Every structure is written in structure tokens, then in C-alpha cells.
């Protein structure tokens, strides 16, 4: 049996954070550690030697994410071959503010955090962290959704829509015509919406959500 490598263990920690919808610093904070504990700059010593995560930090991270040791070993062994990419992340409530997206719905500007996410075929994908309970039961407070502005949208897809009024909403695409889109609310207590395409700045597909 081959020995674990430095990159395998850190890669598994990154995947553990991504599975929980967190950045590496977010995982450290949830585990009650210094937010910089898992930063990439801390993984190599100033003289170039590999620095490994401590047993204590690993144990606290597993406890904070309700992950067993066996599950963590699976993250090391079964998923070590999967490529990952850094995905920009902001809060859903911030998404309506100016400066975060261009007119096509692609992420731009500063103020984004990052999470590590299994690579998908869209270099412009990004994450939004849900706040509040308006999207239950589909998405709870703290859920991270990953959005792909390049992915095609079809009836039944969950999507994020931004209007010219600056409103950003997550809905299910019910129907799309040449003049309008019909959106089904994820929370049954909220009404469905019909928007003229002239009101819509962009629409992008949700491709993943943390649990």
C-alpha cells in the first residue's frame, strides 16, 4: 500500500470543504480554528517544506461537517483523480448589487470569496450562498448553489434570474417563449412569476447545490 501524499490529504480537505459548500477558510472557521489554518500559503513552510494539517484540525473539521473518518478516506482515495477549480462565491443577497456581474451574467469585479469545486465545463461558473428561508425546502439558509452562465437552460431546470430592477431570484424554469419566461417558485408559499424578456438581464442554470 502506498503512503498518503501531502497533496492527497490537502486535496481531500478541499473536497470536504466543497462538499459542505465552504471555502477552505470557511471550513476552518466552522471547525473553530483560525480562519487561515487551511490557506494554501500555510501548506508549505517558508523554507519550502510541505506542512501537513494537524490531527486536531482534521478531527475538528470532520466533526464540524458530520463526516466520518471512513468518508474522509474515501475523499482521499476515490476522488483524488478528479480535477477541481476555484469558483468565485458571494452571498445571494449581494448578487443584486452592481459590480458583481456583467450584462451577460458572468462574474466580474472584486469582493468574491472562493470555494473549491469539481471542475465543470464552464470557466465562468460561480457560487451563491443562500441567506434566509425564503427558498425552503429546496435550499436552506447557508446552502451554496453553483451557477453556470454558459449552460443551456431547459424547462424544469432550476435557474437564477436577474431583472433590470436589480432583483435576483432562484426559480424553476416553467416555460420560455420568444417574449416571456414563466418561473415556478421553489417555496410553495411564494407565487410563481411571469416576466417579459425585456425585463430580464440574464438567466443562468443552477448546476449544483450543497446539502
Series of mean pLDDT values for 10-residue runs along the chain (211 residues): 75 83 84 91 86 94 90 74 71 86 86 72 84 85 87 90 93 94 93 95 87 56
What is the structure's pLDDT at 83? 59
Where residue 24 falls (left for φ over 0; alpha for ψ -120 to 50; beta otherwise) is: alpha
| Helix, strand, coil share of the chain (percent; to 5) | 25, 30, 45
Q: Where are the beta strands (DSSP E) in 17-153?
A: 84-91, 113-118, 126-129, 144-148
What is the structure's pLDDT at 78? 60
* CATH domain 85-209 topology: Umud Fragment, subunit A (2.10.109)
Per-domain residue ranges of the chain: 6-77, 85-209
* CATH domain 6-77 topology: 434 Repressor (Amino-terminal Domain) (1.10.260)
Amino acid at each position: 500500500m502506498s503512503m498518503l501524499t501531502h497533496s492527497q490529504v490537502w486535496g481531500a480537505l478541499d473536497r470536504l470543504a466543497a462538499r459542505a459548500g465552504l471555502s477552505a477558510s470557511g471550513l476552518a472557521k466552522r471547525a473553530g480554528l483560525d480562519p487561515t489554518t487551511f490557506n494554501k500559503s500555510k501548506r508549505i513552510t517558508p523554507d519550502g517544506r510541505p506542512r501537513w494539517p494537524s490531527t486536531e484540525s482534521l478531527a475538528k473539521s470532520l466533526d464540524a461537517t458530520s463526516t466520518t473518518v471512513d468518508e474522509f478516506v474515501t475523499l482521499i482515495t476515490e476522488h483524488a483523480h478528479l480535477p477541481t477549480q476555484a469558483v468565485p462565491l458571494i452571498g445571494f443577497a449581494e448578487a443584486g448589487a452592481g459590480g458583481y456581474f456583467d450584462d451577460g451574467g458572468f462574474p466580474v469585479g472584486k469582493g468574491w470569496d472562493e470555494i473549491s469545486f469539481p471542475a465543470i465545463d464552464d470557466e465562468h461558473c460561480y457560487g451563491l450562498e443562500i441567506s434566509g428561508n425564503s427558498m425552503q425546502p429546496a435550499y436552506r439558509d447557508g446552502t451554496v448553489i453553483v451557477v453556470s452562465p454558459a449552460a443551456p437552460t431547459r424547462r424544469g431546470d432550476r435557474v437564477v434570474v436577474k431583472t433590470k430592477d436589480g432583483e435576483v431570484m432562484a426559480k424553476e424554469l416553467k416555460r420560455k417563449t420568444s417574449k416571456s419566461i414563466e418561473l415556478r417558485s421553489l417555496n410553495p408559499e411564494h407565487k410563481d412569476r411571469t416576466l417579459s424578456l425585456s425585463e430580464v438581464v440574464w438567466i443562468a442554470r443552477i448546476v449544483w447545490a450543497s446539502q
